[in-house]
Structure 1
């Protein structure tokens, strides 16, 4: 387990990003104007490096990680802020983006667990 937290707040416009096959995460220190667009979670410790080949776990769904942007690990560790793209991209579109393979959820509920794991 590299990182584990849960959704504790859903910004007013956060679900709109799901329609674009992505979700934006930020820890509970998110600036108010940004928090409206994010799924908010308590800060957690990143205990290793997130890399392609690992797993993103959202609730009961598992997603293989296909690409990781250059600043994902730093941003997640310091701000809890990254974007997840559900497009299976082989190269990171932006430095703070993790690309995963699988269908984007239609909605998220409070308490949904978020995890990053090494591939076993």
Structure 2
């Protein structure tokens, strides 16, 4: 990958993150402040679509971030197809961001696991 492609990929990830933050803001979702039982079918569908769209944007962010990580690992290992990223602080802010993203992914997975267990327990045990 060329250096200009790598830089464009990083810029795209930043743009997508801004989009995700806007899409994931519950204050902008349809039916804000209305109980689900009180919503009409259209509003519930729009709310579901808004959440699903934010999740899809997050998936693209995760894929581009993963690709950037692979490129950085290959560059560090000396592979010819990687790009050596230009950075004044290799472990500074970029390292903190990567650590925060990893922690966020871990917490989201943990939350999903807990919610899945709770749903299972409710179905099986009626709890």
Same fold (TM over 0.5): no
- Give TM-score scaled by structure 1 length: 0.21
| Structure with more of its chain in strand, by fraction | 1
Higher RCO (C-alpha 8 Å, min separation 6): 1
Greater Rg, structure 1 or structure 2? 2
- Give TM-score scaled by structure 2 length: 0.20
| Structure with more of its chain in helix, by fraction | 2
